[in-house]
Amino acid sequence: MANVYLWSGVRALVAEENPLKIDGENLKELLDNLIISYPNLKAIIQEGVSFSVDNKLVMSSTIERIEENSEVYIFQKISGG
């Protein structure tokens, strides 16, 4: 199970649990499982998110591998100039 941290603006939607414990071999599975557990996050995730996985910034690629106890932060999507 990975530890998943959401930005505080949406934590109210997941009943203040922080971090969330979510399964997944990679980011895509993790997001899928996150939405299954918390369907009200679906819209927010679809609007665009970026990540950090064990402190590595991951802007969009959801094939990033997740380990047992990985720390995953989910941010609102970041874009550059």
Partner 1 sequence: MALDNENKNFFDVVGTRPIRPDGIEKVTGQARFGADAYLPGMLHGIILRSPHAHAEILNIDTTSLDNDPSVKAIVTRKDFSPDLKGEDWNILENVMADQKALYDGHAIAAVACSSLLEARDAVKKIRVKYSLLPHVTDVEEAMKEGAPIIREGVARSSVPKDMHPNIVGYHESGHGNVEKGFIEADLIIEETFKTEAAHQGYIEPHACLVNMMPDGKGEVWCCTQGHFNVAKVCAKLLGTDASQIRVTASEIGGGFGGKTAVFIEPVALALSKKANRPVKMVMSRSEVFRATGPTSSTSMLVKIGMKKDGKITAASGTFKLQGGAFPGSPMAESAMCAFAPYDLEHVKNVGWDVMCNRPKQAAYRAPGSPMAAFAVESVIDDLCKKLKLDPIETRLKNAVKEGSKASFGPRFERIGLVETLESAKSHPHYLAPLKDGYGRGISCGFWFNFGGETSVSLALAEDGTASLSVGTPDIGGSRASMCQIVSEELSIPYEKVRATIADTATLGYNEISHGSRVTFATGLATIKAARDMKRKLCARAASNWGLEEDAVYWEKGYVKPAGPNAGNHDPLSIIDIAKTMGRTGGPIVGHFEASPEGAGVSFATHIVDAKVDRETGFTSVDRYTVIQDAGKAIHPAYVEGQFQGGAAQGIGWALNEEYIYDEKGVLQNAGFLDYRIPVASDLPKIDTVIVEVPNPGHPYGVRGVGETSICPPLAAIANAVSNSVGIRMKELPMSPPRILKAIEENNG
Interface residue list for partner 1 (CB under 8 A): 5, 7-10, 43-44, 47, 52, 55-61, 63-64, 71, 73, 75-81
Q: Least separation, in Å, of the C-beta of 52 and partner 1?
A: 4
Kindly state the tokens that stand for 26. Answer: 């990679």
Q: Least separation, in Å, of the C-beta of 20 and partner 1?
A: 14
- Please tell me the distance from the alpha carbon of residue 30 to that of residue 63, in angstroms, as a whole number: 10
Q: Least separation, in Å, of the C-beta of 2 and partner 1?
A: 13
CB atoms within 10 A of CB 40: 11
Nearer CB in complex with partner 1: 68/81 = 81
- Please tell me the distance from the alpha carbon of residue 15 to that of residue 37, in angstroms, as a whole number: 12
